[in-house]
Structure 1
């Protein structure tokens, strides 16, 4: 690799996003979001091949590692090609791998890029601490859970493809397929390939309307609006098409958390609302929803969802009954 890729520890970047990672002798890809981790590795390989089209790529499974393998795969080859070595599953590493990587860090060769993927867990924590203390660049691939982060992901996906979608379209797409990041990325790619111009909610509805109707977010929206019949109908359709009760309860909880946050600060002005870290459409929608809610009703709804959350996660005998009862209680709490 070019000499410039060997950075001193003091200049190493920690927690960079996958699209900003650069070549370095050792890289840590940390986090359980598989799509982002795959993209980080793909980018590293692409950068290495741009520098040397003959670069040699080797992948090592941490769980199957035997002592000395790292030394073999990183040793100079007969034709002196640069190398990229990707170690997958560092959270499942053998003791031999942890020991060999620790020793390797003392003098990593300049013609090798070693990429270490660690999804989650405490296995290898001592090595992770050593990597970070020595200034090894870390690529952040944390699981994307919140609606706000998924919205940002969709916007970035479309921007990279040279396209834009309005806020309502982005929300509709997240509502429809936002439970899985790979599926969300695939949906963005489909919209980019099959449509032109600004992507509006009508386009998303045309492609994913049926799926939007079967999501927990639509159920939550109807329940919070006090539309009992629609909420129950959407819920039963969702359950009949295979939607698990757990994410439906999670969607209800997320919706109510936003309402509670906005309710707590809405009398303090726009600055306090901005400090919540919510997207503008979230605060606007919450303020509109709150016109139908009293503090007592909101507290009752939150309590009902907390009970359902425990029941769908093992404390109850019938998760589907638990989530339907929660939907009825939330919708019934509007205006009380």
Structure 2
């Protein structure tokens, strides 16, 4: 195919990790390992649905040697279809980059080559060459917003044919939301070990110990003005090895949500644009009934000071967090 024809192809629209498709070359790009694995598995599954005898070959980018892709993608002795998965292309050798650039111009139509890139700009020429051919790109970006995590959990349960209420989803995200793989494993366990609708009581029965003393529960109690409970939960969390830094981060996240929802009152901005789930907005609106703008400003300043303290400006970071929790609780309007 003439080079000019290849360059004239339109770049294919990006797909999410759960929208697999078969093509001679597929780019899986993003920094979330669980979603990357699922994207690759989904493409391989499609290939095996088309041909159960398909052979899967994996190549490691960091240890790649010149010519390995050509060998791996070549038809086997008996002509079986192949899927070649190139892992860690973002950490790949120069030989890998050159071989991929050469290969995507004339890929074997009977072979699917999946290039897995963990994000960043390393290998930009390779990435640009792949996308310029119109190859599908599956994105696997980190899931960082609570609304995205809640949506992920709901989809996990929905995919398993189970229902979960909003309170259950919120509790699960509060307990395990820092690790998407752990969150997915928890969903699988609840599906396997329980029956019927999954509610907050079910989640707490399995993960109550994880939920009870997390920074999110500390933050909830502080925002609600329950100083005694907030301090007790904080001390329990610290006693069980929780670092002060993520505790302060949880306080900051909770207060930022209040500030964002307070801004919604002025109009012009939607909850979706702020990256919040409907339940987060509803909850914050209820909380804000007992908060004044001045009190919220005091609480946010206290968290900012605690953040600086736990990151090196104070001799006693534990005391710094406790002081912030008490300031937040007292800043709420009685």
TM-score (norm 2): 0.91
Instruction: Specify the alignment match of 2:116 in structure 1.
Output: 117
* 1:16/1:319 CA distance change after superposition, 3 Å: farther
Instruction: Specify the alignment match of 2:212 in structure 1.
Output: 213
* 1:157/1:9 CA distance change after superposition, 3 Å: farther
Q: What per-residue deviation string (whole Å, max 9, x for no partner) do you get for residues 253-311 of structure 1? A: 21111111111222549x85566452221111111111221111211221222233344
The answer to whether the 8 Å contact 1:9/1:135 transfers is no
* Cα drift, residue 127 of structure 1: 1.7
* Cα drift, residue 64 of structure 1: 0.5
Instruction: Specify the alignment match of 1:300 in structure 2.
Output: 298
The answer to whether the 8 Å contact 1:49/1:55 transfers is yes
Q: What per-residue deviation string (whole Å, max 9, x for no partner) do you get for residues 11-44 of structure 1? A: 7643312221111111111111111111111111
* 1:86/1:221 CA distance change after superposition, 3 Å: same
Instruction: Specify the alignment match of 1:327 in structure 2.
Output: 325
Q: What per-residue deviation string (whole Å, max 9, x for no partner) do you get for residues 52-109 of structure 1? A: 1111111111010111111111112211111111111112111111111111111011
Pick one of 284, 287, 293 that aligns with 2:282.
284
The answer to whether the 8 Å contact 1:266/1:272 transfers is no
Between the aligned partners of 2:53 and 2:36, the Cα distance in structure 1 is 23
The answer to whether the 8 Å contact 2:11/2:131 transfers is no
Report 1:80-119 matches (<5 A): 80-119=79-118
Between the aligned partners of 2:110 and 2:324, the Cα distance in structure 1 is 59
Relative to structure 2, which stretch is displaced further, 63-72 or 324-333?
324-333
Name the SS for the 2:265 alignment partner: helix
Between the aligned partners of 2:239 and 2:258, the Cα distance in structure 1 is 29
The answer to whether the 8 Å contact 2:298/2:331 transfers is yes
The answer to whether the 8 Å contact 1:216/1:247 transfers is yes
The answer to whether the 8 Å contact 1:26/1:137 transfers is yes
Unaligned runs of 5+ residues in structure 1 are 1-7
Between the aligned partners of 1:121 and 1:18, the Cα distance in structure 2 is 17
* 1:314/1:144 CA distance change after superposition, 3 Å: farther
Between the aligned partners of 1:275 and 1:120, the Cα distance in structure 2 is 24
Report 1:128-207 matches (<5 A): 128-207=127-206
* Cα drift, residue 9 of structure 1: 8.6
Q: What per-residue deviation string (whole Å, max 9, x for no partner) do you get for residues 206-242 of structure 1? A: 1111211121111110111121221121122122223
* 1:13/1:202 CA distance change after superposition, 3 Å: farther
Name the SS for the 2:65 alignment partner: coil
Instruction: Specify the alignment match of 1:64 in structure 2.
Output: 63
